[in-house]
């Protein structure tokens, strides 16, 4: 197998899986999407610009998630049919448990965002991609990406369940 391909997989595997898992609640579905993306990378390997490999992977992952949700008819179906045990695991101290619960609520709120708000928020605030890479992924200009990012954050702030959880944590 192409060693350069393996290096690219090793380099970007977590970013692809992160975007997929923050987009889909079921880790199994997210892994299926990630696998599909990696295989697409293999099939399109000669045509993928080495300099834009990460942006290409993010765009393909973003599109694969959208396709997956469409196949499931609605995002709600995808959200309801499984539980992300990885991010919801609560153990250890009370403080850690509260933090884990908050993170779980936060992840759920992010997953409830529509595209492209969700993908842009994940790529920028969780994965730390540049605006230029994100613009390439979602096929927008930089200004549009920033507008969508700010709207995504505002939508999160408007999530009443999340706000309540934060206030509980601040009060305790």
Partner 1 sequence: MSHQSEQSRCYTVQLQIDTFLDGELGTAEQAFLAHVGGCADCARELRYAKSLYESVLDLPAMDCTDELVDSVYAKVAQTQQEVAAVNQPAEALREASWWQRNWFAWRPTTAVGFAAVCCLALTVSLVLVLRAPETVPTVAQQSPSLPVVPAANSAQIDAEDVRAALDELNTAIDYLNRVGRKTEEMIGGRFVVLPLQRNVDASLRRASFSTDRIEAQGPI
Query: Mapping DSSP to helix (H, G, I), strand (E, B) and coil, where does residue 14 land?
Result: helix
Task: For 116, list phi and psi in degrees, rounded to 5.
Answer: -95, 10
Structure tokens at 12: 């970007």
Q: Choose, by CB under 8 A, the member of 61, 63, 119, 127 that binds partner 1.
A: 127
Residues 8-37, interacting with partner 1 (CB under 8 A): 9-10, 13-18, 20-22, 27, 30-31, 34-35
CB of 102 vs partner 1, minimal distance in Å: 7
Q: What's the rounded Cα separation, in Å, for the pair 73 and 124?
A: 27
As a whole number of angstroms, the distance between CA 6 and CA 73 comes to 34
Which positions touch partner 1 (CB under 8 A)?
1, 5-6, 9-10, 13-18, 20-22, 27, 30-31, 34-35, 38-39, 42, 86-87, 102-103, 106-107, 110, 121, 125-127, 146, 149-150, 153-154, 156-157, 162-163, 166, 170
């Amino acid at each position: 197998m192409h060693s350069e391909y393996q290096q690219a997989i090793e380099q970007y595997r977590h970013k692809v899986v992160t975007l997929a898992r923050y987009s889909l609640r079921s880790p199994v579905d997210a892994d299926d999407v990630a696998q599909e993306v990696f295989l697409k990378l293999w099939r399109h390997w000669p045509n993928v610009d080495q300099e834009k490999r990460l942006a290409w992977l993010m765009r393909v992952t973003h599109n694969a998630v959208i396709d997956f949700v469409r196949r499931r008819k609605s995002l709600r179906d995808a959200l309801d049919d499984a539980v992300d045990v990885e991010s919801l695991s609560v153990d250890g101290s009370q403080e850690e448990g509260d933090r884990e619960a908050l993170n779980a609520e936060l992840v759920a709120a992010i997953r409830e965002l529509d595209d492209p708000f969700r993908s842009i928020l994940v790529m920028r605030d969780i994965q730390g991609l540049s605006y230029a890479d994100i613009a390439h992924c979602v096929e927008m200009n930089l200004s549009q990406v920033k507008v969508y990012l700010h709207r995504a954050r505002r939508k999160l702030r408007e999530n009443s369940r999340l706000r309540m959880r934060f206030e509980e944590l601040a009060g305790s």
